[in-house]
Amino acid sequence: MRSVFRLVLAVALVLGLGLLSCTSTTDGDGDGDGTGEEGTIEWARNLADPVGENWDADAFICFTQGFELDDDGILRGPDTLLAGDSDYWLFWYTLGDETIFIVFVSNDGFTIGYEAEDTVVHYELPRYSNGAVKDLMNTAADEFDENLGDGDYMYRLSLTANETVNLALVEGLEVGGELIVGWILFDADTGQILDTSW
């Protein structure tokens, strides 16, 4: 389990550092016209799916990340940002080979696609609902408050498909988003806490 966690954390850190290069863009009008509650995973995926399908209609999602989420799993938005204008959802589309196509959805609905190479075996990630993400994030927020004290944390959620168990890693970051103050690793499907670090 530790090796799987290290993989999830490594992916999260690479994405956080923004080391991917852009190879294609989409309309990106930034009008936030996804369906559902703005800033949620369903809203973002409704915006990302047409971009991923345009890359390849047979592609599936193997990894999803939301950065600067609130306790309910919603992007905090431009008025409540702790780390600057940086809240987003990312979706990794793949055909199961080494090529991945990453769709970035910002808090205003702007979308852009990135193509990259990845040597990890990819599995299909279930389509998680707003309610499922809210349950994970509510539990995580309670755990952070209990173990680190009541505070205004921002969160990074990474959902990773695996062969045996799908994982949800919730990292809490301090103001500025530069230091991870703790993390919780969940079974993404059952909500069971698998590991923590404070």
SS3 12: helix
Residue holding tokens 């196509």?
101
Give tens-digit pLDDT for 121-145: 899 999 999 999 999 999 999 999 9
- Identify the pLDDT of residue 82: 60
**46 burial class (0-12, 13-18, 19+ CB within 10 angstroms)?**
middle
> Facing residues of 67 across strands?
88, 156
pTM: 0.81
Percent of the chain with pLDDT over 90: 61
Which of 19-23, 124-128, 142-146, 172-176 is predicted with the least confidence, judged by mean pLDDT? 19-23
Give the chain's domain count. Answer: 1
Percent of the chain with pLDDT over 70: 76
Q: Which two tokens mark 123?
A: 């599995």
Q: Are 94 and 67 in contact (CB under 8 A)?
A: no
Taking 70 as the threshold, does the pLDDT of residue 20 lie above it?
no
SS3 content of the chain, % helix, strand, coil (to 5): 25, 30, 45
Give tens-digit pLDDT for 37-77: 899 999 999 999 999 999 999 999 999 999 989 999 999 87
Q: Are 132 and 39 in contact (CB under 8 A)?
A: no
Taking 80 as the threshold, does the pLDDT of residue 81 lie above it?
no
| Structural domain span for residue 40 | 2-197
